[in-house]
Amino acid sequence: MTNHLNDFEAAFKEVQKEISKVITSGPSLITGYVSYLTETTGKMMRARAVLACSMNDDGAIPVDAIKFAAAVEVLHLATLVHDDIMDDADTRRGQITLQKRAGKRNAVICGDFLLAAAIREISQIADKDIYKSFDFSRYVQSIALGELRQNINNRNFRMKVFRYLSIIDGKTAALFEASYHAGALAANYDPHIQKLYRRLGRYTGIIFQLTDDCIDYENTSETALKPVQSDYENGVVTMPLIHAFEKEPDLIDKAENNNLTKEEVFEAVKRNNGVEFTHKMAESYYKRAKDILTQLNMPKEKEEILGGLLTKAFVGLKA
């Protein structure tokens, strides 16, 4: 492989191969559990973001971006394995989850192995100066803190908007920011431009999570490819519900005393336009992200890819 790839889709196929290699090249004891994950990688928005951000003006993608993209996606898989354990989820993306297949204890260990594999993949970046300047551990810490904050705030029906935004800033946005940062580093952009890419990634992640929050109130399990209409029953508080409770605080006491049914929650969210409120908040971040795309003044192909990822985050399953 040369130092650059001149075709985005060819580079993306190399990332898919690299992810498969990372997942299946461990000890057979582990791969027996995790090898099926090579079939559940989804749309790989974060990997696409790494590749797109790394493209130069001629559309060439540095080879180091392949390993960055693979590492980010494997880390993402590790977080999903752990998420499914905490949520006691049976399915994800239409597939049986690892914790359902292998049990929670084995799933925890496999998730830890995938995290270690992602870190090892980053360490194999050819340009060691780029590797050293990418603080992967800081992003891992942000994700862990975001997950911990969400868990601590389980059934916190008095949570405010700013607190929830701080949770998703780590839980979801940090990994998107890491993806965009990695691509900008691979492209060797100066620190100011890197900062813009990082902010673009962060906003995209926040938009993605806010849109995802609405799925529980808008979709069926068949269209979402995961359990829906279950957040409230699991004590998970998201933006549509926060808005409904702020509009009708009397409902909070009922929820805390287990006297508020799922049906009443859905009616309250609908009555107070919780989904519409959440989409409007996502739209405000979408406009900020579009402004950054304009500031970066990038080549057409690159702008189309990153703009497409941004739109996909904003419109969700309708994309």
Determine the Cα–Cα distance for residues 48 and 122; give it in Å rounded to an integer. 17
pLDDT at 95: 83
Q: For the purposes of burial, counting CB atoms within 10 Å of the CB of 263, is it exposed (0-12), middle (13-18) or buried (19 or more)?
A: exposed
pTM for this predicted structure: 0.91
Please write the tens of the pLDDT for every residue from 221-260.
Answer: 445 444 556 788 888 899 999 999 999 999 999 999 999 9
pLDDT at 252: 96
The mean per-residue pLDDT over the stretch 269-298 comes to 96
* Residue 127: pLDDT over 90: no
- Dihedral in degrees, nearest 10, Cα atoms 126, 129, 135, 137: 50
Please write the tens of the pLDDT for every residue from 134-184.
Answer: 888 899 999 999 999 999 999 999 999 999 999 999 999 999 999 999 999
Please write the tens of the pLDDT for every residue from 103-120.
Answer: 999 999 999 999 999 999
pLDDT band of 25, cuts 50, 70, 90: confident
Structure tokens, 175: 């990994």
Please write the tens of the pLDDT for every residue from 33-49.
Answer: 888 888 766 789 999 99
Q: Return the closest-CA partner of residue 180 out of 71, 48, 76, 292.
A: 48
Determine the Cα–Cα distance for residues 164 and 146; give it in Å rounded to an integer. 10
The full set of domains in the chain, from first to last, is 4-318 (1.10.600.10)
* Residue 317: pLDDT over 70: no
Q: Mean pLDDT of all residues in the chain?
A: 90
Least confident of 89-98, 149-158, 203-212, 252-261: 89-98
pLDDT at 1: 43
Contact call for residues 201 and 178 (beta carbons, < 8 A): yes
pLDDT band of 133, cuts 50, 70, 90: confident
